Amino acid sequence: MKITQRIALSLQVSLLAGVAVLFSSSLRSQSLSVAPIGFDVASVKVNRSEPATAHFSITAGARLTAKQHTLKDLILEAFRIWSFQLSGGPKWLDSDSYDIEAKSEQPTSEDQALLKLQALLKERFHLTIHRETRELPVYFLAVGKNGPKLRPSQSTESPMAMAGAGTNNGKLMKKITGRNARMENLARAIPMMLGSENRPVLDKTGLTGSYDFVLWSDFARGGTVAQGNSMPEDGGQNVFVALQQQLGLTLESKKAPIEIIVIDRAEKPSEN
């Protein structure tokens, strides 16, 4: 295998880890104290296989599959939060892996499936939480002065924006691929491209449509911005410039109140 191919593969795996579609704010505001109706059938098993790429999917509007996921992974998926937004928990939170297969008899939207996953975590892991709000550094994703450069999507597939790596004109580059993507999907993928998952991107574009796009950015350029300036210090083709030139969008450095989920209780589940 060529060196560039190996680099692309390893970078794509690292960039894809933890990427997921960001859903509506109503999902994040749900409380486990008022649990939604859960799945009709659910299996939770300890994963004892050799380490492999973790997998999480919601398919056919009724089935949720999670392979080789720790409880931490499952909580991040269920609430659509970053690692830095999760606090507390037992020592095995990020070590023991589980496989979950869950199904609803009735058609279930992706948002509803994640609410059902929250209910499953409460029932099977006895998960209880509380929430805190902290003022943290963030980026605001906004429309540039010349307006957006986005193509409305004709797709009926589930919205997604996925960070990865690819070859563009023979050059290995970072990219975000959007399919039927909303701006909140793009906002969640951008930190992966920046390599700064501890600083969230909040959608402030005001755009409500769904779009198809591919955003390319150099690996060689960083994501540092000058104080109070949305432009990169080095002026290179990094994520900040790529967003402006390719999609007509900007990133602005701000501070904002961010919700933190604190784990009060969690127990290892019995298998079935």
Q: Give the C-alpha separation, 68 to 100, whole Å.
A: 9
* 9 belongs to a structural domain: no
For residues 129 and 227, membership in a common domain is answered with no
Tokens of residue 64, six digits: 């949720």
The total number of structural domains in the chain stands at: 2
For residues 92 and 194, membership in a common domain is answered with no
- Domain extent, residue 32, equals 25-133+260-265
* 47 belongs to a structural domain: yes
* 161 belongs to a structural domain: yes
For residues 139 and 95, membership in a common domain is answered with no
* 236 belongs to a structural domain: yes
* 36 belongs to a structural domain: yes
For residues 47 and 139, membership in a common domain is answered with no
For residues 89 and 156, membership in a common domain is answered with no
For residues 207 and 146, membership in a common domain is answered with yes
pTM (global) more than 0.75? no
Q: Give the C-alpha separation, 42 to 83, whole Å.
A: 25
Length of the chain: 272
For residues 92 and 204, membership in a common domain is answered with no
pLDDT of residue 4: 39
For residues 143 and 207, membership in a common domain is answered with yes
SS3 94: helix
- Which string of DSSP letters, residue by residue, matches 177-237? EEEEE-HHHHHHHHHHHHT-TTS-EEE-S---S-EEEEEEEESSS---B-TT-SSBTT-SS
For residues 206 and 250, membership in a common domain is answered with yes
Q: Give the C-alpha separation, 75 to 56, whole Å.
A: 12
For residues 251 and 172, membership in a common domain is answered with yes
Mean pLDDT of 172-178: 91
Q: Give the C-alpha separation, 37 to 122, whole Å.
A: 11
Mean pLDDT of 7-26: 37
Phi, psi of 78 (to 5 degrees): -65, -35
pLDDT of residue 237: 57
pLDDT of residue 11: 40
CB 164 within 8 A of CB 172: no
pLDDT of residue 3: 38
* 50 belongs to a structural domain: yes
For residues 128 and 154, membership in a common domain is answered with no
* 127 belongs to a structural domain: yes
* Residue pLDDT, tens place only, 73-111: 999 999 988 888 999 999 999 999 999 999 988 888 888
Q: Give the C-alpha separation, 82 to 71, whole Å.
A: 14
pLDDT at 193 over 50: yes
pLDDT of residue 34: 41
pLDDT at 181 over 80: yes
pLDDT at 235 over 60: no
Cβ-count burial 136-153 (b if 16+ within 10 Å, e if not) = bebbbbbbbeeeeebeeb
* 11 belongs to a structural domain: no
For residues 33 and 144, membership in a common domain is answered with no
Q: Give the C-alpha separation, 180 to 64, whole Å.
A: 21
32 compared with 138, residue with greater pLDDT: 138
